[in-house]
Amino acid sequence: MGLMCVHAHPDDEAIWTGGVLARAADEGIRTAVVTCTWTEGTRRAAELARSLEILGAGRPRLLGYADAEVPESGPSRFVDAPLEESVGRLVAHIRDFRPDTVITYDAYGGYGHPDHIHAHRVTLAAVEAAAHPRLHPEAGDPWRVRELHLVTFPLSVVRTLWEELLGAPPEPDRALPGVPDEMVALTVDVRPWTGRKWRALQAHESEAERGAGPAMLSGLSEEQRVRLLGTEYYIRRPLTGDPAPG
């Protein structure tokens, strides 16, 4: 068994899928994370290595592109790279690790970040390309992923958390991240692993320094963090050859 997560940036592995990664590692399932942006030798890559060690997810696997909002983080922006190139790089990791399950973001990238949306598109293409013997032969022997899941939030949960954390319901005309509840096929209780998930997120010290995710979550009570981080939600994406959903 093997589980691979494909994420846009260092720290996404902890925020979005840290509980599932830690749980799978504890259950003896091989785990890996491919990160599309940032390069080896950078501070954020080092933080990613510490986070993955906490989660039991092996070494960093970096596609080596730049963050759309931080051009100096790589030689070229992920969103600008030729699709065939980025798909080929990810195919190589899939064929090397040979996962049974791959996880990435939903079609909106969770909350609309261009790197997240692009990671969704590249992952869908790479999962199917990895199984085809005529595509990317330089990337190794073909491998067919059995399941593809897209991490997301149901809208009902987004509205509830919004009100709990901000003290008021969202405005009626506000566009919220997330998907209709009926699209969520898998809800995973990861509360026993929220401590490790939080420690992995704290490994991203540069993100805390700039006031991003770790800094925002540090202001919450432990109970609030468990509410926010203790459940992970997934859409099941049928693959070529899967039976049509009922």
Confirm if 48 and 38 have CB atoms less than 8 A apart: yes
Q: Mean pLDDT score of the chain, rounded to an integer?
A: 93
Residues 137 and 163 both lie in one domain: no
In this structure, is the dihedral angle defined by the CA atoms of residues 101, 199, 158 and 123, taken in order, positive or negative? negative
Residues 109 and 170 both lie in one domain: no
DSSP string, the chain: -EEEEEESSTTHHHHHHHHHHHHHHHTT-EEEEEEEE--TTSHHHHHHHHHHHHHT--S-EEEEEBBTTBGGGSSSBGGGS-HHHHHHHHHHHHHHH--SEEEEE-TTTTT--HHHHHHHHHHHHHHHHHT-TTS-GGG-S----SEEEEEE-BHHHHHHHHHHHHSSPPPTTPPPSSB-GGG--EEEE-GGGHHHHHHHHHT-HHHHHTTSHHHHHHTS-HHHHHHHHSEEEEEEEPPTTSPPP-
Residues 140 and 208 both lie in one domain: yes
Could you tell me what percent of the chain has a pLDDT over 90? Answer: 78
Residues 166 and 44 both lie in one domain: no
Residues 104 and 169 both lie in one domain: no
- The Cβ of residue 44 has, within 10 Å, a number of other Cβ atoms equal to 22
Taking residues 144-150, report their average pLDDT: 97
Taking residues 5-19, report their average pLDDT: 97
pLDDT in tens, 87-107: 999 999 999 999 999 999 999
pLDDT in tens, 27-55: 999 999 999 999 999 999 999 999 999 99
How far is Cα of residue 129 from the mean position of the Cα atoms in its chain? Answer: 20
pLDDT at residue number 246: 43
pLDDT at residue number 241: 64
Question: Is 242 part of any domain?
Answer: no
Taking residues 123-128, report their average pLDDT: 98
Taking residues 4-20, report their average pLDDT: 97
pLDDT at residue number 165: 74
Residues 123 and 67 both lie in one domain: yes
Task: Name the token pair of 10.
Answer: 């260092």
Give yes or no for residue 18 having a pLDDT over 90: yes
Residues 95 and 162 both lie in one domain: no
pLDDT in tens, 49-78: 999 999 999 999 999 999 999 988 989 999
pLDDT at residue number 244: 47
pLDDT at residue number 172: 81
Question: Is 24 part of any domain?
Answer: yes
Residues 136 and 190 both lie in one domain: yes
Indicate which CATH number applies to the domain containing 61: 3.40.50.10320
Whole-model pTM: value is 0.94
pLDDT at residue number 242: 65
Query: Residue 161: which domain range?
Result: 155-181
How many domains does the chain contain in total?
2
Judged by phi (left if over 0) then psi (alpha if -120 to 50, else beta), residue 11 lies in left
Residues 168 and 47 both lie in one domain: no
Confirm if 147 and 237 have CB atoms less than 8 A apart: no
Taking residues 127-147, report their average pLDDT: 97
pLDDT in tens, 222-236: 888 898 899 999 999
Question: Is 135 part of any domain?
Answer: yes
Question: Is 245 part of any domain?
Answer: no
Question: Is 42 part of any domain?
Answer: yes
Residue in 171, 116, 141, 169 with CA at minimum distance from that of residue 5: 116
Residues 8 and 113 both lie in one domain: yes
